[in-house]
Structure 1
Amino acid sequence: MRTLLVLCCMLMASVAYSQNSMTVSSPDGNLELNVSVNNGNPVYSVTYNGKTMLENSPLGLVTNEGDFRSGMRFVESTTGKVDKEYTQRKIKQSFVQYQANTLNVTLENAGEKQISVLFQVSNNDIAFRYEFPVWGDRRAAVVEEEATGFKFPSTAMAFLSPMMTPMTGFARTAPSYESGYVADEPMENTNADYGYVYPGLFRVGDAGWVLLSETGVGSNYNASHLSSYSNGGYTVEYPSAAQNNGFGSTGAQIGLPGTTPWRTITIGETLKPIVETTISWDVVDPLYEPSQLYEFGRGTWSWIIWQDNSMNYEDQVTYIDLAAALDFEFILIDAWWDENIGYERMEELVRYARSKDVGVFLWYNSNGVVNDAPQTPRNKMHTSIARKKEMEWLQEIGVEGIKVDFMGGDKQTTMRLYENILSDANDHGLQVIFHGTTLPRGWERMYPNFVGNEAVLASEMLVFVEDVRQKEAFYASLHPFIRNSVASMEFGGVVLNDYLNKGNQRGQKRQTTDAFQLATGVLFQNPVQMFALTPNNLHDVPDFELDFMRNLPTTWDETVFLDGYPGKYTVLARRHGQQWYIAGVNAETSAKELTLELPMLAGQEVAMYNDDSDKETYMEQIEVPEDGELVITIQPNGGFVLTD
């Protein structure tokens, strides 16, 4: 009798477990996600082609209305499908078809409050978020922290960029999201004090690659990041309380019913799905209609090389003339313009630019309350009354966009500021670039007038820091796989000066070739690119390089990964209309010979921009064989571009 009772209990336990374990696969069946409740703890795991990519990883969060991390009970699950198409001019692919299978799991905590976790699984991507119903008479709640984790097999290696220490750096503007990367680092060594920014890339032995990020963050929530490595993995970590000078909640204030942002996981046996993913935009939708048809393109920017002293009327006229000579669409006029040029003369300058068919972006300091950055204009963007008054003036004089700087921090109060600036700017026909800023999380699709974030160790650090100059090729070879894979990246690059200063004769010497710089103009994707060319380049740079820049697009209809390894080299193909650009860079210390499969150029004559063995950049016409197979040599710290 005792034996029978034990067997019955074991059978009941098996049945209960099977009821608490749910699986959803991708449309092609290769990617599989399993969700279960183990001893009251909700977890999920992921396999790809039968190989473990994520081991049992925790789910759950804590709100002021209850704890949803442990003591949980499975209630029900439902399945479904998503099939949607959309067009988006500002990302790596202009037309996207997104198909996914869904699993919605409802769980209940010890206080009998329920939450759901909605999973959407496409062929190489998983997106999931938490969904909150109305709890009794509760119509509002605060999410305090999140238990969501990512537990990799122990052999996984990390490619990560650390969060900066809050309220440090220039004028206490950190975090400005301008840190370097570790590459192929054992996970146990990734113990940065404040964790790591999204996205994070991981190589899971011979099984493949995993990219972690989040999307869909607006005024409704705080942004998050990855914790440092602990207990076999990483968790979703909310902003440090020290951000924003210690002001503001680190969690999220939400209305009920409500949702969190999406956590995204991109998986592939190779790096191709990592580079080509569109999951950041697949699961979000526009939040408002554009007030006009916004045009994108290239711009000149005096500050990056000529710095603060160039913020005067005469130098800006010179840069407007440079933009016109290069057939560029824009000029960016940076900090201190209000003091050194003034509002009245700025109206005159904008009229001059428009007479040259050049649109103007003006720089603004975002804050008056969260850091000590002295650059002006200040106190124009962080309050609604001042902001709308300023934007009315910008619209009246014909300014086409603004660059708002020093946005540091991921608290919900900052996310609301981003959205308020974008929404008000759209009302006044203004496009917006942010610098000193967090990763954009689906914003290209959510906000029609958003045209780029920095959120990277960008071109200004090439000017300021020797170590960054030495590692320029290393970082460039990482960005297509990590930072630029999930969002636009306003880098401010293509530097053709030999020295990164106005004299261009001595000082901060560029370590990369001209062909490398041209290649980054293709590799670094952003719909509005403010390039680092200078007026002297019209005379000291070969005409074929200038002609390349005159014709370089900034929007792409298709992006294809061809070859590469993060931190070593990368080769991408991008298509604009019917024209293909193939670009690559080499971060290794010796020349690299690659055999590329280029069916899109098979049998065609193309222009090749490359470096010879002395690292002198040249251009020649070559014939791609009929089979599309082409051998290319890339010099160290060099690059190449092919275009038909």
Structure 2
Amino acid sequence: MKHLLSYLACACFVLLTTKLYAQDAVVLSPDKQLTLRVSVADGKPAYTVTYLGKTMLENSPLGLQTNEGDFSTGMKYISKAEDVVNKNYNEEKIKKSQVRYTANKLTCLFENAQQKKLSIVFQVSNNDIAFRYEIPAWGERMSCVVEKEATGYRFPSLTTTFLSGMMSPMTGFARTAPSYESGYQADAPMIRTNRSNEGFVFPGLFRVGNDGWVLLSETGVSSLYCASHLSEYKDGIYTVAYPNPKTNNGFGSSGAALALPGVTPWRTITVGATLKPIVETTIPFDVVEPLYEPSRKYKYGKSTWSWILWQDNSMNYDDQVKFIDLAATLKYEYILMDALWDKNIGKDRMKALVKYANSKKVDVFLWYNSNGPINDAPQGPRNKMYTAIERKKEMKWLREVGVKGLKVDFFGGDKQENMRLYEDILSDANDYGLMIIFHGTTLPRGWERMYPNFAGSEAVVASEMLVFVQGVREAEAFNATLHPFIRNTVGSMEFGGVLLNKFLVKSNEGRNKRLTTDAFQLATSVLFQNPVQMFGLTPNNLTDVPTFEIDFMKQVPTTWDETRYIDGYPGKYAAIARRNKTQWYVAGVNANKESVKLKLNLPMIAGKRVRLYNDDTSKAPYTKEIAIDKNGELEIEVQAGGGFVIK
């Protein structure tokens, strides 16, 4: 009898366990190395992520809260559906021009306490997870407001972080924050004493001890939703946080208004045992589609830019002629004329200036203030981009005089109101054949693919801060070793770099001394990816730097057919390779206080003779031809604050 009772107890336990786990839904990557498991416990949906059998994310919450009901608690698992996604696409504006995306798809259907349904769609490819919520129409209810997400990320306790803080609203220059221009901390603990309560921007990088790396971000944000960020670490978890209600001077909802059926943006998780999948991921673009057709063939390339070193005083007719001539000499496609051109040059003379540029085979980008009621920035042109009527009038004039693109500056938030403005500017600009670059801006979230005339965003501590802030100059090499693994891996990054002046002022002497080497600066032209690059070269560089540096800057491309991780550790050093057609460029920088000797594995140029650009022990730049052995291995020394390029 005792044995029978024991048997019955075991049988009941097996049945109970089978019933519990029968509600689990599991999806694996095509190579079966990445596993995502979805479950419901006590009415709360959750997921876990393992890679190569090791836990990357522990039991993490899922769900939404809306004005039509709570979909984070009291939930019941209804059913699942499985499918496979196969997709090939071309996109010349990102790190890889031809992409094949294959993923296993899992759709989980849930029901809340009011019997309203919600689906969560997961797509799991090799090293990448993307998921979003799909909300059906609920009877006669054809709209809702999503007020909050329960979506969270629970990392193992040994995890360290590489995160950038979300800036406080209505702070910074002319109350233009948040503008995604805070620095990153490397290898920081999850538990912090100096919490800001604003959370952290996407993307965020996490090192899960010795088990691997995880990159979190989002993609597919359009006018139909707000952008989000990571909350502060609380109760062992990071959650998806919506914009602070105080942004935009307090105007606009911090949630998202959806017509039903509707979908949220995609939450993305990239996982790897090394940083290779992080550097090479294309998931921000894999799960989105173009929202409209390009009105013309957009041309990408390099640009001169007087403002970065010659500043506001350069915004005059004569100085712009000098930078047009510089662009022509360098065979650059563009010149960017920055803030205050409307006051200091004016539309009539600008028309003549554009004509002069075109005669030199140089096209023009012009700067605009986004403003309206969303910032206090005084620089003009103002009040031309915020409303449809003024915007279309201005863009009609721009098309008539032959301008090819705009740099629109000073956006201060991630509310749905802001996302509508971004999309309206892009859509209207396409109607007039204009490319758009955003500065003082949010992270681009799949926009390279969604908007055909989008040509990049700043959203980083960029070159202007090198001019203005000593601490940023001191951290230049440190920051450069982060971007290939974090910010620039999920979207184009218009940094405005390659500064060859020894002092970051027009006179090239006396103050704002540059603390990195010339080879470092050349390396960033490859390390940082954006389809239109505004480089900080000045006319004096044609004669005061070695000729081989100028020749290199004439040749380096801005679009790439392939990108590969080579080596690196965020905050210490970085080395990546990019290919344009058949030409490979390998670039690296060193943020350590001492030189480092790297052993690089370069199979793409094995057995070839290539040109090396590097610094000697005195940090003077040099170039020479070298041979890569048949195994593709190369030992190279990189100076502190230095860099190298191999091509």
TM-score of the aligned structures, taking structure 1 as reference length: 0.99
Matched residue SS, 1:127: strand
Select which of 620, 625, 633 maps to 1:616.
Answer: 620
Q: Are positions 1:178 and 2:181 aligned together?
A: yes
| Paired letter, 2:515 | Q
Q: How far 1:176 sits from its partner (Å)? A: 1.3
Q: How many Å apart are 1:601 and its aligned residue?
A: 1.3
1:538 alignment partner AA: L
1:56 partnered with 2:59: yes
Given candidates 305, 309, 321, the residue that maps to 2:309 is 305
Superposed CA deviations along residues 556-591 of structure 1, whole A, max 9, x for unmatched, are 000010100000000001000000000000000111
SS in structure 2 opposite 1:81? Answer: strand
Question: Which of residues 543, 557, 579 is equivalent to 1:539?
Answer: 543
Deviation by residue 1:373-429 (Cα, 9 ceiling, x = unmatched): 001001000000000000000001100000000012000000000000000000000
Shift of 1:437: 0.2
CA shift for structure 1 position 2: 10
Q: 2:490 aligns with which of 479, 486, 489?
A: 486
Choose from 35, 46, 59 the match for 1:43. 46
Q: State the match for 2:93 in structure 1.
A: 90
Give the superposition deviation at 1:132. Answer: 0.4
1:414 maps onto 2:407 in alignment? no
| In structure 2, C-alpha distance between the alignment counterparts of 1:54 and 1:77, rounded to whole Å | 22
Select the residue among 23, 27, 30 that pairs with 2:30: 27
Aligned to 1:291: 295
How far apart, CA to CA, are the structure 2 residues paired with 1:379 and 1:118? 41
* Aligned match of 2:150: 147
Asked if structure 1 preserves the Cα contact closer than 8 Å seen for 2:498 and 2:536, the reply is: yes
Establish whether residue 271 from structure 1 lines up as the match of residue 308 from structure 2.
Answer: no
What is the distance in 2 between the residues matched to 1:192 and 1:152? 21
| Residues 6, 610 of structure 1: alpha-carbon distance in 2 compared, 3 angstrom cutoff | same
Task: Quote how far apart the aligned CAs of 1:19 are.
Answer: 2.5
Superposed, which structure 2 residues align to 1:160-239 within 5 Å?
A: 160-189=163-192, 191-239=195-243
Partner AA of 1:205 in structure 2: G
The residue that corresponds to 2:475 in the other structure is 471
- 1:131 matches 2:134: yes
Q: Which residue of 1 aligns with 2:114?
A: 111
Q: Residue 372 of structure 2 aligns to a residue in which SS? A: coil
Q: For residue 206 of structure 1, report the CA deviation from its aligned partner.
A: 1.0
2-structure distance, mates of 1:273, 1:2: 53
Q: How far apart, CA to CA, are the structure 1 residues paired with 2:299 and 2:403?
A: 13
In 1: Cα distance, 2:596 partner to 2:257 partner: 52
Amino acid at match of 2:433: G
**Counterparts of 1:227-376 in structure 2 under 5 Å?**
227-376=231-380
* Distance apart, 1:16 and its partner CA: 3.2
Aligned-partner Cα distance in 2 for 1:448–1:370: 26
Output the amino acid matched with 2:594.
S
Question: Post-superposition shift, 1:626?
Answer: 2.1
Using the TM superposition, give the Cα deviation of residue 6 of structure 1 relative to its aligned residue in structure 2, in angstroms: 7.5
For the residues of structure 2 that align with 1:183 and 1:284, how far apart are their CA atoms? 30
In structure 2, C-alpha distance between the alignment counterparts of 1:570 and 1:563, rounded to whole Å:
6
Q: Deviations over 1:157-208 (max 9, x none)?
A: 0000000010011110011111011100110027332000000000001110
**Partner secondary structure for residue 478 of structure 1:** coil
- SS for the counterpart of 1:46 is strand
Residue 325 of structure 2 aligns to a residue whose secondary structure is helix
The residue number in structure 2 matching 1:387 is: 391
Q: Which moved further from structure 2: 312-321 or 189-198?
A: 189-198
Alignment of 1:377 with 2:381, yes or no, is yes
Separation of aligned partners in 2, 1:602 and 1:172: 52
Q: CA deviation at 1:7?
A: 7.3
- Tell me, in whole angstroms, the C-alpha distance in 1 between the residues paired with 2:25 and 2:196: 35
Deviation, 1:625, is 1.6
Shift of 1:4: 10
Partners of 1:565 and 1:233 in 2: how far apart? 25
Taking structure 1 as reference, are residues 141 and 4 closer, same or farther at Cα in structure 2, changes over 3 Å only? farther
* Equivalent-residue separation in structure 2 for 1:337 and 1:117 (angstroms): 49
TM-score, normalisation: structure 2: 0.98
The aligned residue for residue 399 of structure 1 is 403
Q: Distance in 1 between matches of 2:507 and 2:22?
A: 72
Once residues 612 and 577 of structure 1 are traced to their aligned partners in structure 2, the CA distance between those partners, rounded to angstroms, is 30
Measured in 2, the distance between the counterparts of 1:211 and 1:639 equals: 25
- Aligned identity (percent) is 65
Which 4+ stretches in 1 moved above 6 angstroms? 1-9
Partner SS state of residue 373, structure 2: coil
Distance 1:486 1:244 in 2: 26
Distance 2:607 2:15 in 1: 67
The residue identity in structure 1 corresponding to 2:85 is V
SS of match in other structure, 2:374: coil
Give the Å deviation of 1:12.
5.5
Indicate yes or no: 2:79 matched with 1:79: no
Partners of 2:375 and 2:411 within 8 A in 1: no
Q: Distance in 1 between matches of 2:90 and 2:372?
A: 38
Residue type of the partner of 1:68?
A: F
Q: For the Cα contact (< 8 Å) 2:93–2:531, is it kept in 1?
A: yes
Which of 6-15 and 595-604 deviates more?
Answer: 6-15
State the match for 2:455 in structure 1. 451
Q: 2: CA distance between counterparts of 1:238 and 1:505? A: 46
Name stretches of at least 5 consecutive residues in structure 1 with no aligned partner. Answer: none
Could you tell me how far 1:597 is from its partner in structure 2?
1.1
Aligned counterparts of 2:557 and 2:542: Cα–Cα separation in 1 = 20
State which of 552, 556, 576 in structure 2 corresponds to 1:552.
556
Deviations 1:473-532 (A, max 9, x none): 000000000000100000000000000010101100000000000000000000000000
CA distance in 2, matches of 1:390, 1:365: 13
Q: Using the alignment, how far apart are the partners of 2:72 and 2:5 within structure 1?
A: 36
Q: Which amino acid aligns with 1:501?
A: V
Bigger shift: residues 188-197 or 339-348? 188-197
1:101 aligns with 2:110: no
Give the distance between the partners of 2:563 and 2:391, measured in 1 at CA.
37
1:626 aligns with 2:647: no
2:436 matched residue in structure 1: 432
Q: How many equivalent residue pairs?
A: 643
Question: In structure 1, how many angstroms separate the alpha carbons of the residues matched to 2:203 and 2:618?
Answer: 37
Contact 2:456 2:530 in 1 (8 A): yes
- What's the offset of the Cα at 1:621? 1.1
1:44-76: CA deviations, max 9, x gaps?
Answer: 000000000000000001001000011100010
Q: What is the rounded CA distance, in whole Å, between the counterparts of 2:52 and 2:45 in structure 1? A: 24
Per-residue displacement from partner, 1:306-331 (whole Å, max 9, x unpaired)?
00010100000010001001110000
1:626 and 1:103 map into 2 onto residues whose CA distance is 45
Whole-Å separation in 1 of the counterparts to 2:22 and 2:365: 58
SS in structure 1 opposite 2:465?
Answer: helix
The residue number in structure 2 matching 1:640 is 644
For residues 81 and 195 of structure 2, the distance between their equivalents in structure 1, rounded to whole angstroms, comes to 38
Gaps of 5+ in 2: none
Letter in 1 for 2:187: D
